[in-house]
Structure 1
Amino acid sequence: MLKEEINKALEVLKAGGIIVFPTDTAWGLGCDATNEEAVAKIFALKKRVDSKSLIFLIDTENKLQSYVSEIPDVAYDLIEYTEKPLTIIYDGAKNLAKNLINEDGSVAIRIPKHDFCEQLIQRFRKPIVSTSPNISGEPTPFNFFQISDEILNGVDYVVDLEQESTEEKQSSTIIKLGAAGQFAFIKK
């Protein structure tokens, strides 16, 4: 089942499509983070202005240097020792869809601890956008039953895993990390 769902999601991502998928936090609305057209589809579906950047996922901290020009050493400690999901905003984004990068050149990255996400990203070999599957301004759906039909009907594929779970997961802590290693909590 897991392998089948990964294969189906991979096909859609490779074709520039968008998916709804389970993560270690809220459900995700995702696409290829290097594909500008796919990212634009997510902004359109969410009715969100593209000046508000999106989070993307990678499978291991070893890939950070592929998407961020300078990684402060403290980033690796934060990733290693955090107990709950952590999103870090880094300066100096690179090798990503231009409409995914914030106006100030920063980008938000999370490394999920979730079987489906980890395996999907490993197999895809590229980062995957993960934003909440809701219309901008509406509440974040923390389980599958809270996702609107408008979103579910607007994507190319809905991953058929964890849909029955009513567990409300927590969102990630968000930290902005400066080049010199200073950091500030954006959302605890």
Structure 2
Amino acid sequence: MLKDEVAKALKVVQDGGIILYPTDTIWGIGCDATNTEAVKKIFALKQREEAKSMIILLDTDNKLQSYVREVPDIAYDLIEYAENPLTLVMPGAKNISEALIAADGSVGIRVAKHPFCEQLIQRLRKPLVSTSANISGQPSPQNFNEIASEIIEGVDYVVDVDQHDTTLKKPSTIMRLAPDGRFEFLRR
């Protein structure tokens, strides 16, 4: 049951562990976005250089101002009206692990529209790290069956939700958004 899986994942994340979980896009590797040790475990598992930042997931856009100094008004409209999952990269990141903040001070944030993510983030009361479930440089898995065994074995918990869903998923659209509302697409 979803509630049970949320409870199990919550315990792992609160204890500083990393999880493999379904999102509204592709499967992700995640942890508590305020826990630097946990974030470093994900970099190690992905064999990813720490200069390449990872995004955070929120359950609702009204929490944006908790993690970004200045949220442009247009951010709320972009999130509300985006046809596909949208990650916004905004400057002025705050209240998250330094390991997640890019050299320019920005962070990528997506409001996840997936029941598991929404419930876990709500109960955690903190953002959840999300990065594709692959070794850095390898293709992103489009469903659970494509995730490498070293990733599955390298996390502390594999969430038992949507594992049998073979729908091919793709990563979110990524848009850089300046405080004045100017934006550019980084990935469509």
1:73-120: per-residue Cα shift (whole Å, max 9, x none)? 110110111111000000000001000000000000000111111011
Matched residue type, 1:9: A
Greater mean deviation of Cα atoms: 162-171 or 60-69 = 162-171
Residue deviations 1:130-164 (CA, integer Å, cap 9, x gap) = 10011000010110010111011110000001111
1:25 aligns with 2:18: no
What's the TM-score, normalizing by structure 2? 0.99
* Alpha-carbon distance in 1 for matches of 2:128, 2:142: 19
Query: Where does residue 53 of structure 1 map in the other structure?
Result: 53
1:92 is the counterpart of 2:92: yes
Aligned residues: 188
Amino acid at match of 1:44: A
User: How much does 1:171 deviate?
Assistant: 1.4
Superposition pairs of residues 6-45 of structure 1, within 5 angstroms: 6-45=6-45
**Which residue in 2 is equivalent to 1:145?**
145
**Percent same amino acid at aligned positions?**
63
Q: How well do the aligned residues superpose, as a CA RMSD in angstroms?
A: 0.5
| Amino acid across the alignment from 1:22 | P
1: CA distance between counterparts of 2:115 and 2:78?
21
Shift of 1:165: 1.1
- With normalisation by structure 1, the TM-score equals 0.99
Q: How does 1:124-143 map to 2 (within 5 A)?
A: 124-143=124-143
Deviation at 1:5, TM superposition (A): 0.2
Aligned-residue offset at 1:170 = 2.2
Task: Quote the Cα distance in structure 1 between the aligned partners of 2:64 and 2:119.
Answer: 17
| Aligned partner of residue 63 in structure 1, secondary structure | helix
* Runs of 4+ displaced beyond 3 Å: none
Equivalent residue of 1:131, what SS? strand
Counterpart residue number, 2:79: 79
SS at 2:163 equivalent: coil
Partner of 1:167: 167
Report the equivalent of 1:107. Answer: 107
> In structure 1, what is the Cα distance between the partners aligned to 2:59 and 2:65?
13
User: SS where residue 41 of structure 1 aligns?
Assistant: helix
Write the distance in 1 (CA, Å) between the matches of 2:18 and 2:171. Answer: 21
1 CA distance for matches of 2:60 and 2:165?
A: 26
Q: Displacement, 1:179? A: 1.1
Q: What CA distance in whole angstroms lies between the structure 2 residues aligned with 1:165 and 1:175?
A: 28
Structure 2 letter corresponding to 1:79 = I
Measured in 2, the distance between the counterparts of 1:180 and 1:13 equals: 35
Cα shift readout 1:46-96 (whole Å, capped 9, x = no counterpart): 000000000110011110011000001110110111111000000000001
